[in-house]
Structure 1
Amino acid sequence: MSQRKPEISKGIDWLVVWLYIILVFIGIMSIFAATYTEGDPVLQSFISLKTDYSRQLLYFGIAAVLAVFILLTDSKFFTATANLWYAFGILLLLLVFPFHTEVKGTKSIIRFAGFQLQPAELCKVFVNLALAKYLSRVETDFSKTRSQLIATAIAISPALITILQQETGLALVYFSFFLVMFREGLPAAVLIIGFSLAALVVATLLVEPNTLAIILTAIAAGAVYIMRRQIKRKRRLLAVIMGIWFVSVGVQRFVVPYVFETVLQPYQVKRIYDTIGKDYVPKDEAEALAMEQTAPAKKKDDGGDYNVKQSKIAIGSGGFSGKGLLKGTQTRYDFVPEQRTDFIFCTIGEGFGFLGSFTLMLIYFLLLMRIITIAERQRSVFSRCYAYGVASVLFFHIAINICMTIGLAPVIGIPLPFISYGGTALLTFTVLLFILIRLDADRQMVLR
C-alpha cells in the first residue's frame, strides 16, 4: 500500500494564509512608522538588520520557512508528539529560573547568541497541543470533574510558573483555554463563577470593605427570601447560598488584599487602579521607590498612567482617516512608550485613523471567524480542540491589547498578534496558526 505524502498546497486554506501575510505586512509597516529615523536610506535600513523593522522582516523570513516546514509535515506528527512538546515547554519554563535575563521588570526571558527567547510565549503552542490531545482521548469523559481538573491543570500549570517569573500578563493568556473546555462541555457555571469573581475583585477595589460586606450579606439574604419555597424542599440549597456568601466575603476580606499586597508588583497594582479610575497611593516610600524601579517603560505626569494617556491622545489625533505614514507626531516623537510592541495599535490609529483601525479589526474578525469555521468542519476531536485553542489565544491577545491601549484594560504587556515587534511572539503565532492549517488540510483523515 502506498503511503500518502503531504503536499504543501493540497487542502490549504489560503484565505487564512493571506490574512496572515496581510497582518504581518501591516505589522512591519507599523514598526517602520514608529521607529524610522528621518534621512536614513529606506532600502538600506530594511536590509541592515540594525533597525527594528529590518529585524522583524528577518523574523518573518524565519517564520515563513518554519511555516513551510509545518505544511510539509504529516498532521499525525502533532498528535503523536503533543505530550512531548508540552514536557519540553515546561522544561523551557523551568530553565528560565537559572538562566534568565531581566528585561524591563520581567524575568521570563532567556538570551543567547544575540537573540531573546521567551518560553512563556512559546509554551502557548505546546499547551494547546497537549490540551487538544487530552480532550481527544477516547478514555477522557469530560463530563466528569476529574477530567475537568486534569484539563485545567494542563492549561494552568505553565501560567503558575510564568507568574513566578514576574510575567503576569502572559500568564493570564493561558486562562483563554477555558473557552476550549467550554466548547467541549465544561459547565457554563464555571465561566459564570469566573466572571463573578472578576466582578467581585473590581467591587472590592471600588467599594469600602464594610459597605461591600453589607451588600454581599443583603444579596445573600435576598436570595434566601426569594428562594424560600425551594429551600423548604431542598435544604442543600440554603447551604449553597451560605457557602457562596462565605466565600465571597472571604475573597473580599482576605484573598484580594493578600494578592494585591503580596503577589502583584506595586506598578501592576497601580495599573489596575488606573484602569478602574481610582487613584493608587503607595503605602510608604519603599513601595513608591519599588514602583519607579520595576515599572517597565513607565513615565509619570499628573498622577495618571502616562502610557495610556499618550496612547489615547495618539489614537484620537488620527481622526477619521489618519495623518498618514510617518506623519504622526505622538508616535514619531516617542511620546508613547513601547509604541512598537505593546502600544503599536496607537501607531496605526494615529497614522491611519478610524478607517485604518477599523480595517485592522475587520481583518482580525475575518481571521477569527474563519478559524471558528475551520474548527467546526473538523472530523477530528483533536483538530477541533486545537482550532478553538488558536481562536481563544488570538482573541484574548487582540481584545486585551486593543482595550489596553484605549484604557479599557490594565496594561499587562501582551503583544498584538502578528503586528507587535518581537521574534518570539511572531514565531509563536505563526507556528500556532500553521499547525492548524496543516491539521485542516488533512481533515479528511479522521484522527481521534
Structure 2
Amino acid sequence: MPRRNNILANIDWLTVGLYALMLFLGWFNIYAALYSDEHQSIFDISQQYGKQLMWIGAAAVIALVIMLLEVNFYVFFSYIIYGVLIFLLMLVPIIGKEINGARSWFEIGPILFQPAEFTKSATALALARYMSTHGFKLQNTRSLLTIAAIILGPVVLILLQNDTGSALVYFSFVLVLYREGLSGVVLFFGTLVAILFILALVLANFTLALILVGAALLMFLVFNPKLKQFFNVTIIYALSIGFFILLSYVISTKFELAHFILAGAVAGSFVVLYNSIRNKIPNYTKIAIVFIGSILFTISVDYGFENFLEPHHQVRINELLGIESNPHGAGYHVNQSKIAIGSGGFWGKGYLEGTQTKFDFVPEQSTDFIFCTVGEEWGFVGTLTIILLFMFLFMRLIWLAERQRSTFSRIYGYSVAVILFFHFMVNIGMTIGMMPVIGIPLPFFSYGGHPCGRLRYCCLYLFVSMPVV
C-alpha cells in the first residue's frame, strides 16, 4: 500500500469529530458524577475529572503517532505485537498487582498498566494479518483452528487473572468472522448454547428434561415428516427413557429422576444416531448429534457454574435471572442504578443536579455505572441521544471498514466496531439490569484514569484511529 502523501486529507474528520464529541461528553459527565463544592474546577488534576483530561491528551498524542505510521508497519509487526502482549499476559499472574480481586495489572510508578486492554487491539491485528494472507480460506479446518487459537489464547490467560469481563470481550470477534464468510450455523449454535445455559439455571431439572426431549421429537418431525420414521424414533426414546426411569427406582442413588430421564434420552439418541447413519437419513443424524451435545451441555452447566465462576459472578447471574433477589446485597448496584436512571424522567434533573449520584447512592458512578449520571441528569432524551451517537459511530466504522482497499484494514476496522459495540451493549445492559455486572466500562464515558481503567482511553483511541480513519 503506497504511503499517504497527505495525512490530514485522508482522515475521516466526521468520525474523529464524533469520537472527540463523545470523549468530551464523557468528561463532562465524570465531572457531574463527582462534582463537589470543594473542587469546583473541572481542570483540578487532584480529582478524576482533571486526570481524565490528561488521559484524553495522552490518547491524542498516541493517535497522532499512530496516524504518522504507515499501515504496512502494523501489518509487518502484527504478530510481534501480539506475541509481546501474550507474554505480558503470562507474566501478570506471577508479578502483577491485584485490584478488586483480579490480578491483571502491572504497576509502573504512578501508572497501572493492564495488558488485557491492549491485547484486544493486538488480537485484532493478528487476526487481520492472518486472515489477509494470500490463499486464506475461512472454511479450511486448519484456518479455523488457527483463528480459534489466536482468539482463545488471550481468553484463557485473562481467565487465569480472574478477569471474566475482559475475557468475554474477545468472543465479539465471532461477528468479524461472520462478516468474512463464517457460516451462520456457528452463530446459531452460540445462541443455542446461551439459551441452554439460561434454561439450565432457571428451570428445574425435571422440567428441562421434558423440554429437551419434546424439542428433539419436534425437530425430528419437522425436518423429516415421514410418520413411520418419526414413530420409530418415538418408540426408541420411550423405551430408552422408560428403562432408565425403572432403573432409578431399582438402585439407590443421589441422582434425581430428571438425570435418569436425560441419561435415557442420550442412550436413545445414540440408537437413533446409529440407525440414521446406517439407513442414510442425514437430517436425523444431525439432530441426534445436536441433541446429545445439548443434553451433555445442560448436565455440565451446574458443575461449571459452581466450579468455574467466582462466587460474586454466580450471585450476579442469579440476581439477573431472578433466581435470587437481594436489593441490599449483590443486587444493590443494579437497584440503585435503575433508581437513578428512572428518576431522570423524560428531560432529566439538569446538569449537576443529580441527587442519586451526588450523594453516592450509585457505586462506581464514574466508571462502570457512568450511564446512571447520563440517565438522571439528561433523562430519556439525553440517554437516547447518547445511544444514537454510539449507533451512528458503529455504522460509520462499518462503512469505513467496507471502503478499505486491503483485507487487513477491513478486518481490523470490523474488529474495532465489534469490540466497542460489545462494551457499549454490556455496560448499558448492566446499568438497566439486563446484563450481569462484570466490570465492562462504557467507551468514551467511563473514567480512564481510575486504577480499574488507567490508560483505557489511550487503548480505545488506538482502536479507532489506526487504519479505519
Report the TM-score, using the length of structure 1 for normalisation.
0.89
Mind listing any 5+ residue stretches in structure 2 that lack a counterpart?
A: 230-275, 449-453
CA contact (8 A) 2:59 2:461 kept: yes
1:327-406 paired onto structure 2 within 5 Å = 327-406=353-432
Q: 190, 206, 220: which is aligned to 2:202?
A: 206
Aligned to 1:285: none
Is the partner of 1:9 in helix, strand or coil?
A: helix
Q: 100, 106, 122: which is aligned to 2:102?
A: 106
Aligned length: 413
Aligned to 1:247: 293
Is the partner of 2:159 in helix, strand or coil?
A: helix
Q: 36, 45, 49: which is aligned to 1:53?
A: 49
User: How far did 1:379 drift?
Assistant: 1.4
Q: 1:243 to 1:5 in 2, by over 3 A?
A: closer
Aligned to 1:84: 80
Q: 146, 158, 163: which is aligned to 1:162?
A: 158
Aligned to 2:240: none
CA contact (8 A) 2:334 2:431 kept: yes
1:226-241 paired onto structure 2 within 5 Å = 226-228=222-224, 234-241=280-287
Q: 1:229 to 1:356 in 2, by over 3 A?
A: closer
Q: Looking at CA atoms only, which structure, 1 or 2, has the larger radius of gyration? A: 2
CA contact (8 A) 1:415 1:425 kept: no
Query: Partners in 1 of 2:124 and 2:286 — Cα distance?
Result: 34
Query: Partners in 2 of 1:133 and 1:164 — Cα distance?
Result: 27
Q: 181, 186, 194: which is aligned to 1:185?
A: 181
Is the partner of 1:42 in helix, strand or coil?
A: coil
Q: Give the residue type in structure 1 aligned to 2:203.
A: V
Aligned to 2:138: 142
Query: Partners in 1 of 2:151 and 2:307 — Cα distance?
Result: 24
Q: Give the residue type in structure 2 aligned to 1:150.
A: T
User: How far did 1:393 drift?
Assistant: 0.4
Aligned to 1:13: 12
Aligned to 2:33: 34
1:408 has 2:434 as partner: yes
Aligned to 1:443: none
Deviations along 1:410-436, whole A, 9 cap, x unmatched? 111111011101232211110011113
Aligned to 1:22: 21
Query: Partners in 1 of 2:462 and 2:330 — Cα distance?
Result: 38
User: How far did 1:112 drift?
Assistant: 1.7
User: How far did 1:303 drift?
Assistant: 5.5
Q: 1:5 to 1:140 in 2, by over 3 A?
A: closer
Is the partner of 2:105 in helix, strand or coil?
A: strand
Aligned to 2:234: none
Q: Give the residue type in structure 1 aligned to 2:145.
A: L
Which stretch shows the higher mean deviation, 204-213 or 221-230?
Answer: 221-230
Query: In percent, how many aligned pairs have the same letter?
Result: 43
Q: Give the residue type in structure 1 aligned to 2:287.
A: I
CA contact (8 A) 2:327 2:335 kept: no
1:129 has 2:148 as partner: no
User: How far did 1:6 drift?
Assistant: 4.8
Query: Partners in 1 of 2:346 and 2:426 — Cα distance?
Result: 23
Aligned to 1:289: none
Q: 1:5 to 1:194 in 2, by over 3 A?
A: closer
User: How far did 1:184 drift?
Assistant: 0.6
Report the TM-score, using the length of structure 2 for normalisation.
0.85
Aligned to 2:115: 119
Deviations along 1:235-267, whole A, 9 cap, x unmatched? 24323222211111111112x112211110111
Deviations along 1:269-291, whole A, 9 cap, x unmatched? 111111111217xxxxxxxxxxx
Q: Give the residue type in structure 2 aligned to 1:237.
A: N
The two structures, once aligned, show a CA RMSD in angstroms of: 1.7
Mind listing any 5+ residue stretches in structure 1 that lack a counterpart?
A: 281-299, 441-448
Is the partner of 2:467 in helix, strand or coil?
A: helix
Query: Partners in 2 of 1:404 and 1:84 — Cα distance?
Result: 35
1:266 has 2:311 as partner: yes
